[in-house]
Amino acid sequence: MKAKKVGIIIQARMGSTRLPGKVLKLLDKDEKVLDVLIKRMKLCEKVDEIIIATTPDKQNSLIIDVAKTHNVSYFIGSEENVLERYYEAAKQYNLDIVIRVTSDCPFVDPKLMDEMIIFYKNNNFDYVRNVDQSTNFVRGFEIEIFSFNALERAFSLAEKNPEMEHVTYFFYTHTEIFT
């Protein structure tokens, strides 16, 4: 049986409306937010690929430079339809299991991520996450894991703007079709 390919997709863009360029802001003297996140994600032992998913906006070339510096993959896709960006990135890199991480959360725990990947693989779920209203996890440490098949289903069925703008919105608003 072929091992399932696990990939982290980090959504990143410079055009934040609240704090433009936040992913390349310095956290300390010489490390940017995205640098710290990539270094932490490289500590995950259960991950085969790290992909930065950005958009064609010219200012995002700085994000691509960071990806190249850290020798991680990158994907350029839709600015508005983030669900499509994830779907196309996962498809291009042949991911079986997709992990969603946002670029403005640099302190995601790689050990917790590995534990969640093991949990996900040992169970028959379409989608798991560690943060919602019923957990005590602090915002900013979110990890979401889902199958490529579930992502493909969401991508093909999503019709409303929030379902396309927010990658996993469709998962938790249509729990009847996901496990």
Confidence of residue 142 (pLDDT cuts 50, 70, 90): confident
Identify which of 43-52, 121-130, 137-146 has the greatest average pLDDT: 43-52
Cα–Cα nearest to 47, from 105, 91, 85, 100: 100
Matching CATH number, 6-177, of 2.120.10.30, 3.90.550.10, 3.40.50.10490, 3.40.50.150: 3.90.550.10
Kindly report the pTM of this predicted structure. 0.94
Q: What percent of the chain lies above the pLDDT cut of 90?
A: 76
What is the C-alpha separation between 136 and 90, in angstroms, rounded?
Answer: 30
Contact 98, 5 (CB under 8 A): no
Domain ranges of the chain: 6-177
Q: State the helix-helix crossing angle for 110-122 and 33-41, rounded to 10 degrees.
A: 50
Please say if the pLDDT value at position 20 is more than 90.
Answer: no
Length of the chain: 179
The confidence score (pLDDT) of residue 119 equals 97
Q: Which residue has the higher pLDDT, 19 or 12?
A: 12
Rounded CA-CA distance 154/173 in Å is 11
Q: Which residue is listed with tokens 């399932």?
A: 4
- Predicted confidence band of residue 96 (pLDDT cuts 50, 70, 90): very high
pLDDT at 86 over 90: yes
